[in-house]
Amino acid sequence: MEYEAVVGLEIHVELNCATKMFCDCPNRPGDEPNANTCPVCLWFPGAIPRFSQEALEKASLLCLGLGGELQPRSAFDQKVYYYPDLPKGYQLSQAHLPLSRGGGIDILDDSGKPKTLRIRHVHMEEDVAKLVHEMEGRVPVSLVDFNRAGAPLVEIVTEPDFRTPHEAMEFLKALRTQVRSVGSSDCSMENGTMRVDANISVRPRGTEQMATKVEVKNMNSIRHVGDAIVHEISRQSACLQAGEPVVLHTRLWDPDKKVTLPMRAKFEGPCVPDPTVPVIELSREWIDRMRSRLPEMPARRAQRLVAQHGLTPEEAGFLSAEADVAGFFEALTREGVAPRTAMHWLATQLLPAVKERGQELSRSPVTAPRLAALLRMLSRDEINANAARDVLLRLFDTDESPETIVGARGFRQVSDPSALDALIETVLAAHPAAIADVRRGQAKAMGFLIGQVMQASHGKANPKKVRDLLASRLDAPLNPAGQNAVEP
Taking the C-alpha atoms of residue 166 and residue 162, their distance in angstroms, rounded to an integer, is 9
The neighbour count for residue 54, using CB atoms within 10 Å, is 15
**Interface with another protein, residue 76, by CB under 8 A:** no
Q: Of the candidates 5, 6, 25, 42, which one interacts with another protein according to CB under 8 A?
A: 42
- Beta-strand relationship, 69-70 and 73-74: unpaired
What, of Zn ion, another protein, none, does residue 396 touch, CB below 5 to 8 Å by kind? none
- What are the C-alpha distances in Å from 51 to residues 154, 276, 296, 315? 14, 10, 28, 42
CA dihedral of residues 142, 148, 149, 150 (deg, nearest 10): -170
Pick the closer one to another protein by CB: 274 or 315: 274
Q: Does 45 bind another protein (CB under 8 A)?
A: yes
Partner from another protein, Zn ion, none contacting 41, C-beta within 5 to 8 A by type: Zn ion
- Rounded Cα distance between 288 and 283, Å, is 9
Cβ distance to Zn ion smaller for residue 25 or 438? 25
Work out the number of other CB atoms within 10 angstroms of the CB of residue 81: 14
Nearest to 474 by CA among 464, 445, 486: 445
Q: Do 316 and 306 meet the contact criterion of CB atoms below 8 Å apart?
A: yes
Give the three-class secondary structure for 189: coil
What is the CA 402 to chain-centroid distance, rounded? 32
Nearer to another protein, 144 or 414 (CB): 144
Show contacts with Zn ion in window 24-83 (CB under 5 A): 25, 38, 40-41
**Segment interacting with another protein (CB under 8 A) among 41-49, 208-216, 391-399, 449-457:** 41-49
Residue 140 interacting entry, from Zn ion, another protein, none, C-beta within 5 to 8 Å by type = none
Please, are residues 112 and 300 in contact by the beta-carbon 8 Å criterion? no
Among 39-47, 172-180, 336-344, 370-378, the segment contacting another protein (CB under 8 A): 39-47
Beta bridge partners of residue 133, listed in sequence order: 142
Which of 26, 262, 278, 313 lies at the binding interface for another protein (CB under 8 A)? 278
> 483: exposed, middle or buried (C-beta count within 10 Å: 0-12, 13-18, 19+)?
middle
CB nearer to Zn ion: give 43 or 345. 43
Rule CB under 8 A: which of 297-356 touch another protein? Answer: none
Q: Is 84 in the site for another protein (CB under 8 A)?
A: yes
Q: Does residue 253 interact with another protein by CB under 8 A?
A: no
Out of 23, 214, 219, 323, the only residue in the binding site for Zn ion (CB under 5 A) is: 23
- Give me the least distance between CB of 20 and another protein, in Å please: 15
Q: Is 72 in the site for another protein (CB under 8 A)?
A: no
d(CA 281, CA 299): 30
Q: Which residues bind another protein (CB under 8 A)?
A: 39, 42-46, 48, 50-51, 78, 80, 82-84, 87-90, 144, 269-270, 272-273, 275-278
Q: Which residues bind Zn ion (CB under 5 A)?
A: 23, 25, 38, 40-41
